[in-house]
Every structure is written in structure tokens, then in C-alpha cells.
Amino acid sequence: MKSYSTLLTLFLACHLSAQNSSVFFAEEFVVTANSLNLRAEPDVNSAKVAVLPQGSLLQFLEAWNNGQYTQTDTTDENAPFGRWLKVRNKKYTGWVFDLYVTGTTELYYENSPQFDMQSISPLFWYGVYARDSFSDELRKVQVRLAEEPNTFYGGTVKLLKTNQKDQSKFLIASNTALTIGYCGPLGVFDPNQMFSSKSLSPGNQLSIYPGNDQNDTIIKATYGLAATGCARLENNFVRVTDYQLMLLDYTTEPITTQNLTDWVRTEMPEVNPSVDLLWFGDLDRDNKPDAIIQDCPYEIGCRASLFLSSKAKPGEYLRKACEFYWPGD
């Protein structure tokens, strides 16, 4: 049986080893501490460039040592672990420790262990729930961290809870207010039930769409997610090479595409991709599809990534906004 400290070590080890294109950082952060020192260098003893108040927006520039985890104070064995991020606001550029900032949009799952969450971020919190058999809704929620014993982890762990009686499909923390109400067409269904398989393994093609609420007759975009690759038997194991995940816009003639492969690339090229569609709908209410895609790029654990149409740049349909990491055994 693994202890909590062992699982935390595995959690950090995974991130320490993930030093390639699979590492993700939000494009924009917000300060969650009451105030935060912006440092000239990635060192707690470095000179202060500025003191940033809570709510300050920061543009991400780079991560120290490719995002390697370190301690805030390497001379104190009890100092918390995190990552140094180089950021810029309207006036200053410098380094902050990521325990005291968060992405402007974050994805969480209710009742999941929170290994690296120090406290609840002072953001707007929402949950996605099945409203009825055929639709999902976004509710504003209150969240808290509850410490509960867990036999699997061998100790007490922090679990994320809400003030709702229903179990949410997932939770969103946002720096800006979102529109509550209808947010997707799934309801009690999920992609695995609707398409026989939610897998985006080579040869599979799934559709995502925003859906329509009651009395909504607007014709909206439908996109396809198509996975390709070559599978062959190699030393008694199936080996997948040349994996590609493409988005197809069915509303254009000819059909236009966006390559999403870089977002789901495995850390080690010899590892087969494992990619699934978990959810789709319209969280940002722009009448274009959003999606949550899960992949397992690391040696330990998988991640669920939220793709939003409102974050897309010119030439794109979707852009990754945030991810939730699932530590593995």
C-alpha cells in the first residue's frame, strides 16, 4: 500500500521526467495569493522586481529548467515544491513561484485527491451537471477541501468537494464569470454510450458539437475528431506509429482541418498513444464546440485536457486551455 508521501513523490517524479513538448503551461495566469513577490531570478533570495496584488493577470513567458519541480527555499527541507515561471504583466517582467498563481481557466474533478492544491483559489467556480436525459448545465458552486482517510493512499488526503447534492461531471475555476445554464447535449449519456467507443485510437472518428437548448434553432458548427496511424505486431505486441489526431470542420467546402497531435503526443515515442474523448459541449457559449480529451503521455498517470473554441487563434478551431493530471499507480 502506498503512503500519501509516496504518491506525492510519484506525482512530482512524473512531472520531473516530463521535460518535452507534452509539458503544458497556461498562456495566462492570475495571482491567487494576497500579494506575490515578482523576482528578478528564479530564486527566493533574488531581488524583488515588484509586489503583485491578488488578481493580477500575468502572461506566461517560460518555465525555469523546462518546468522542473523544485523547492521555494532549497535550504529548507520542509519548503513546498513548485515551479518557477517567468511572467510579464503590464509593467514588469520577472519570476514567480507557481504555488501562488493559477491559470485563468482550470479543470478539476470532484472528490479527486488534490496533491498540489494548497488552498482554494479565489476564482469563480462552476460545475457541469446532467440537467436532464439530453443536456448538461453549468452551475455556479462553492468548493472546499476536505481531509479524509484513504486506505489506498495509506493516510489522509485532501478531496475537492462542492455544496451541491448532485455529483458533477467536472469542475471549472475561471478568472471571469461564465454563463450558467445549458452547456452541452450529453445529459445522462457519454461519448462511450453514444458512439460505442470514446477511444480516439487509429481508425476511429467521433463528432463534437455544441448542441441546442430548448427553443434554440440556430444551426451550429459540428467538428470531427479523426485518429489515424499505423498498427503492426512487433515482438508479440501491437505497436502504433505515425499517430495523428485531426479536427475536421464539416461546415466548410472543402473540409478544413486542424492538427491536434502535438497536444496528445506521448513523452516517449515508443509508447503507444492512449487518447479518449471524455466530454463535448459549449462551455464558453460561443455556439462552437468545446471538448475534454484525455491522453496518457507520461510513464505515470494521465491527463484530461479542456479545449475551448474561444481560446483558438487564427487558423485554429480549438486550443488547449488547461489540464487535470491523474496520478497513476
Chain mean position to CA 286:
20
Beta strands in 119-236 (DSSP E): 124-132, 135-140, 143-150, 155-162, 170-174, 181-184, 205-208, 223-234
Cell of 317: 478551431
| Of 20-24, 201-205, 300-304, the least confident | 20-24
Task: Place 179 in a pLDDT band, splitting at 50, 70 and 90.
Answer: very high
Q: Quote the CA–CA distance of 301 and 124 in Å, as a whole number.
A: 28
Q: What is the CA radius of gyration of the chain?
A: 21
Total-model pTM: 0.90
pLDDT at 288 over 60: yes
Domain ranges of the chain: 27-102, 190-326
pLDDT per residue as tens digits for the range 105-146: 999 999 988 776 667 788 899 999 999 999 999 999 999 998
> How far is the CA of 295 from the CAs of 72, 210, 263, 272, in angstroms?
30, 22, 9, 11
What is the Cα–Cα distance from 46 to 73, expressed in whole angstroms? 11
Q: What is the pLDDT of residues 44-71, one digit of tens each?
A: 999 999 999 999 999 999 999 888 888 8
Q: Which residue has the higher pLDDT, 256 or 326?
A: 256
- DSSP 8-state class, residue 83: -
pLDDT at 18: 41
Mean pLDDT for the chain overall: 88
3-state secondary structure of 252: coil
Q: How confident is the model at residue 196, as a pLDDT?
A: 76
Among the four given CATH numbers 3.30.70.260, 2.60.40.1080, 2.30.30.40, 3.30.450.20, the one describing domain 27-102: 2.30.30.40
